[in-house]
C-alpha cells in the first residue's frame, strides 16, 4: 500500500524561481533565504519519495477566469512549464503519476469531494518554485508529481476547514492504493503577503510564527481562521495559506516538525518552509 511519509509547507514566490534561474541565489539579498533551504533539500533527498502531491494555486496561467475550478487534480503523465508572461521557466517538465492520480480522483469524488479532472495543463511557479526550493536544479525532477489546484484567486477560496478535510480524504485514498509508493504532500503559498492596493507589502511575522507553531501544536485551530482574518492579518494574498491545510489534513495527528525556515523578504512576501515527518504519526 502507498503511504504518506512527509508533509512540506512551502511559499511559492515567483521571484525565488527567477533568482534560481538567473543564478542570483548567493547575492546579499537572496543568500539568507537560500542558505535556509539547503537542510530541507538534504533531508528530502535522503527521504527519496516516489511521488509528490503538490497542492498549489494557478496564477492565471493554466486557467483564466473563463472556468474556475475550486479543487482540481491533474492526471496527465506529463505537465509542461507554463509561459506566465515572460517565457516559461527553464526547468524540467513535470512527470505525473496517472495511475495514482486517477485512483485519487475516483476515491475523492466518491468520498464527496467533487474534483475537476485535468488531462492536460501547464504548471506555473505555484508548483515549480516549491520543487526548485526543495530539489535544487536537477536535470529531471527526482519524483513523480500529482498537481492539485485550489482556487484562491477568485473570492471565495474554499475554507480552511474544507481544505483540511480534503487532506484527510487524500490520506484515506492513498492508503487504499495497491502499489508500494512513498508519497510526500506539499501545501504551498503564503505566508503573509499582500501584492495589491495601497496596503501592498504587508507582512505579519507574529501571525506567521503562530501559524507555523500551530501546524504541530494545534492544527485544527488553524482551520477556523476565516478568510477575512487571513486578509486582515496576513494580507490579501495571505489567504493562500488555506492550501497548507490540505497538506496538514493528510498527515497524522502527531506528525512532527523536522525543519523550519522563515525569511522576510522574498520580494513582497514572507517566505516560509516547514517539513513534517509523518512516518510514525498515526
Partner 1 sequence: MTQPHDYDSIPGTYVYDAERGRIGYPLNMFCMSLNKAENRKAFKENEAAYLDRFPLTAEQRRTVLERDWLGMLKVGGNIYYTIKIAFCDGLTFQDVAGMMSGVPKETYAKMMLAGGRTPDGNRYKDTDAAAEDE
Q: Is residue 154 within the footprint of partner 1 (CB under 8 A)?
A: yes
Please state, in angstroms and as integers, the Cα–Cα distance from residue 76 to each residue in 49, 93, 94, 140, following that order.
19, 12, 10, 17
Site size for partner 1 (CB under 8 A): 43
C-alpha grid cell for residue 258? 523536522
Length of the chain counted residue by residue: 282
Residue from 45, 200, 221, 254 touching partner 1 (CB under 8 A): that is 200
Q: Mask: binding to partner 1, 44-73, rule CB under 8 A, as x and -?
A: ---------------xxx--xxx-------
**Residue 22 Cβ, how far from partner 1 at the closest point, in Å?**
12
Please state, in angstroms and as integers, the Cα–Cα distance from residue 44 to each residue in 7, 116, 225, following that order.
11, 30, 30
> Cα separation of 122 and 78, whole Å?
9
**Residue 40 Cβ, how far from partner 1 at the closest point, in Å?**
23
Please state, in angstroms and as integers, the Cα–Cα distance from residue 36 to each residue in 216, 262, 263, following that order.
20, 8, 9
Q: Is residue 174 within the footprint of partner 1 (CB under 8 A)?
A: no
Do the Cβ atoms of 126 and 56 come closer than 8 Å?
A: yes
Q: Is residue 265 within the footprint of partner 1 (CB under 8 A)?
A: yes
**Residue 186 Cβ, how far from partner 1 at the closest point, in Å?**
20
Task: Report how far Cα 24 is from the mean position of its chain's Cα atoms.
Answer: 23
Q: Is residue 227 within the footprint of partner 1 (CB under 8 A)?
A: yes
> Cα separation of 267 and 7, whole Å?
25
Q: Given 12, 97, 103, 125, which residue is catalytic? A: 125
Q: Is residue 202 within the footprint of partner 1 (CB under 8 A)?
A: yes
Q: Is residue 195 within the footprint of partner 1 (CB under 8 A)?
A: yes
C-alpha grid cell for residue 191? 505566508
**Residue 94 Cβ, how far from partner 1 at the closest point, in Å?**
18
**Residue 72 Cβ, how far from partner 1 at the closest point, in Å?**
17
> Cα separation of 167 and 79, whole Å?
22
Phi, psi of 179 (to 5 degrees): -75, 160
15 or 118: CB nearest partner 1: 15
59 or 182: CB nearest partner 1: 59
**Residue 160 Cβ, how far from partner 1 at the closest point, in Å?**
16
What is the CB neighbour count within 10 angstroms for residue 80?
A: 14
Q: Mask: binding to partner 1, 1-20, rule CB under 8 A, as x and -?
A: -------------xx-----
Q: Is residue 199 within the footprint of partner 1 (CB under 8 A)?
A: yes
- Is 193 one of the annotated active-site residues of the chain? yes
C-alpha grid cell for residue 229? 482574518
Residue from 128, 188, 223, 236 touching partner 1 (CB under 8 A): that is 236
Please state, in angstroms and as integers, the Cα–Cα distance from residue 170 to each residue in 49, 75, 112, 135, 137, following that order.
17, 15, 12, 23, 29
Active site residues: 125, 193
Q: Which residues bind partner 1 (CB under 8 A)?
A: 14-15, 59-61, 64-66, 82-87, 153-156, 192, 194-205, 207, 227-228, 231-233, 236, 264-265, 267-268, 270
Amino acid at each position: 500500500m502507498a503511504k504518506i511519509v512527509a508533509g512540506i509547507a512551502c511559499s511559492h514566490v515567483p521571484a525565488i524561481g527567477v533568482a534560481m534561474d538567473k543564478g542570483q541565489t548567493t547575492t546579499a539579498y537572496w543568500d539568507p533565504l537560500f542558505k535556509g533551504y539547503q537542510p530541507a533539500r538534504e533531508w528530502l533527498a535522503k527521504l527519496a519519495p516516489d511521488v509528490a502531491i503538490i497542492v498549489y494555486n494557478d496564477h492565471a496561467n493554466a486557467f483564466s477566469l473563463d472556468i474556475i475550478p475550486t479543487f482540481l487534480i491533474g492526471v496527465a503523465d506529463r505537465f509542461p512549464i507554463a509561459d506566465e508572461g515572460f517565457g516559461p521557466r527553464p526547468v524540467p517538465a513535470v512527470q505525473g503519476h496517472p495511475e495514482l492520480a486517477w485512483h485519487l480522483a475516483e476515491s475523492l469524488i466518491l468520498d464527496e469531494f467533487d474534483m475537476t479532472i485535468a488531462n492536460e495543463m501547464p504548471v506555473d511557479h505555484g508548483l515549480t518554485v516549491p520543487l526548485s526550493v526543495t530539489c535544487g536544479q536537477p536535470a529531471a525532477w527526482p519524483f513523480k508529481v500529482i498537481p492539485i489546484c485550489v482556487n484562491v484567486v477568485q473570492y471565495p477560496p474554499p475554507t480552511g476547514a474544507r481544505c483540511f478535510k480534503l487532506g484527510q480524504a487524500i490520506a484515506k485514498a492513498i492508503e487504499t492504493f495497491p502499489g508500494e509508493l512513498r508519497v510526500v504532500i506539499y501545501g504551498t503559498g503564503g505566508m503573509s503577503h499582500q501584492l495589491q492596493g495601497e496596503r501592498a507589502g504587508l507582512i505579519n511575522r507574529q501571525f506567521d510564527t503562530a501559524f507555523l507553531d500551530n501546524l504541530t501544536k494545534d492544527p485544527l485551530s488553524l482551520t477556523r481562521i476565516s478568510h477575512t482574518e487571513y486578509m486582515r492579518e496576513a494580507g490579501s494574498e495571505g489567504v493562500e495559506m488555506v492550501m497548507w491545510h490540505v497538506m496538514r489534513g493528510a498527515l497524522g495527528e502527531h506528525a512532527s516538525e523536522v525543519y523550519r525556515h522563515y525569511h522576510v523578504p522574498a520580494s513582497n512576501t514572507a517566505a516560509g518552509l516547514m517539513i513534517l515527518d509523518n512516518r510514525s504519526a498515526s
